[in-house]
């Protein structure tokens, strides 16, 4: 099926970055000055080489002559988001997931698990790809690398980690959840269809290759309203905060609600109009980051 899309010429991360992401990033920059330079110059290049070796040895590199349909989805999303294409790998894994080393460098990459590909339609796969591109576009890799280091320190030395890193870990987790909202927006900008992005979130919450075609998106969106209603009581708000405090991602219904709201906003419509250049696309044809 041919879908008319709009190229977003000159798109910048700040054009779509979620305000939660912006505020959390600014707070980390103030608390950890100079960290971005250190990670970018020291840890980034080393991590890229380590991940490249692992990917090239144990995954399938997608290209013109290898899974070309997936490669086209990648190029199409990069073209829409005005971004150079990273390497794309497919990896055998029963857990549906995708992740990226989200730092602009010599060898940026993303990985899709086979179980995720089997569960999604081509449009939905492109939404996942674009979400990962969002991490790259927003250069989230600096603080994602820090998140991995903090988590590793806490695991290796539990007592020291509890005393020293607990506060920092909480702030990093909060930032990670905020960053996801920006990347969901990137997925929407690439597909330009909010139902596609929300469908991915629904399938990740409760889908499988056999169940996914039977799921009802309208019913899933209705769940978001029920989730919002929990805030009406003080104990409900407290429980919700406790539930999400240790998560790296916002809960799926909240992400779906955010996309539903932003896709209907004047901000989103103005962004499409300001950056647009029409073309037709056949949708059917570090730190690292999980979807």
pLDDT band at 285 (very low <50, low <70, confident <90, very high): very low
Is 3 a member of any domain?
Answer: no
Q: Which residues are catalytic?
A: 132
pTM of the model: 0.87
Is 50 a member of any domain?
Answer: yes
pLDDT of residue 1: 43
CA–CA gap between residue 291 and residue 286 (Å, rounded): 13
* Peptide bond connecting 287 to the previous residue in cis, omega within 30 degrees of 0: yes
Helix 68-81 / helix 122-137 crossing angle, nearest 10 deg:
50
Is 2 a member of any domain?
Answer: no
Long-range CB contact pairs, 33-41, < 8 A, 24+: 35/142, 35/143, 35/146, 36/142, 39/103, 39/141, 39/142, 39/145, 39/146, 40/103, 40/142
Is 188 a member of any domain?
Answer: yes
Domain that holds residue 182: 14-290
Opening angle at CA 28, ends 26 and 31, nearest 5: 110
CA–CA gap between residue 61 and residue 281 (Å, rounded): 23
CA–CA gap between residue 227 and residue 67 (Å, rounded): 39
Is 6 a member of any domain?
Answer: no
Is 235 a member of any domain?
Answer: yes
23-50, pLDDT tens digit by residue?
A: 999 988 888 777 777 777 766 667 777 7
- What residues pair up with 282 in beta bridges, in sequence order? 2
Is 127 a member of any domain?
Answer: yes
Q: What is the count of structural domains for the chain?
A: 1
219-248, pLDDT tens digit by residue?
A: 998 888 788 777 777 887 788 777 787 788
116-135, pLDDT tens digit by residue?
A: 999 999 999 999 999 999 99
Is 5 a member of any domain?
Answer: no
Do 171 and 246 form a contact (C-beta atoms < 8 A)?
A: no
CA–CA gap between residue 20 and residue 133 (Å, rounded): 19
Beta strands in the chain (DSSP E): 2-6, 60-61, 87-91, 98-101, 109-113, 278-282, 288-290
CA–CA gap between residue 135 and residue 103 (Å, rounded): 8
DSSP 90: E
């Amino acid at each position: 099926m041919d879908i008319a899309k709009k190229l977003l010429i000159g798109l910048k991360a700040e054009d779509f970055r979620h305000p939660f992401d912006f505020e959390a990033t600014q707070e980390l920059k103030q608390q950890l000055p100079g960290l971005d330079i250190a990670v970018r110059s020291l840890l980034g290049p080393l991590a890229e080489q380590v991940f490249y070796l692992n990917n090239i040895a144990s995954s399938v590199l997608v290209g013109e002559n290898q899974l070309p349909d997936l490669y086209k989805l990648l190029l199409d999303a990069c073209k829409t988001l005005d971004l150079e294409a990273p390497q794309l790998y497919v990896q055998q894994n029963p857990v549906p997931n995708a992740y990226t080393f989200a730092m602009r460098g010599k060898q940026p990459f993303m990985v899709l698990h086979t179980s995720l590909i089997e569960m999604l339609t081509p449009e939905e796969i492109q939404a996942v790809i674009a979400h990962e591109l969002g991490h790259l576009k927003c250069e989230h890799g600096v603080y994602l690398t820090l998140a991995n280091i903090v988590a590793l320190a806490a695991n290796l030395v539990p007592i020291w980690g509890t005393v020293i890193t607990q506060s920092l870990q909480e702030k990093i987790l909060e930032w990670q959840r905020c960053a996801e909202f920006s990347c969901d927006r990137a997925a929407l900008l690439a597909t330009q269809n909010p139902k596609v992005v929300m469908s991915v979130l629904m399938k990740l919450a409760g889908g499988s290759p056999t169940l996914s075609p039977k799921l009802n998106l309208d019913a899933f969106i209705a769940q978001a309203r029920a989730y919002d209603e929990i805030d009406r009581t003080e104990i409900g708000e407290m429980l919700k905060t406790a539930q999400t405090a240790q998560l790296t991602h916002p809960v799926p219904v909240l992400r779906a609600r955010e996309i539903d709201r932003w896709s209907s906003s004047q901000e989103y419509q103005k962004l499409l109009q300001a950056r647009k250049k029409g073309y037709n696309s056949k949708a059917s044809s570090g730190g690292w980051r999980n979807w």
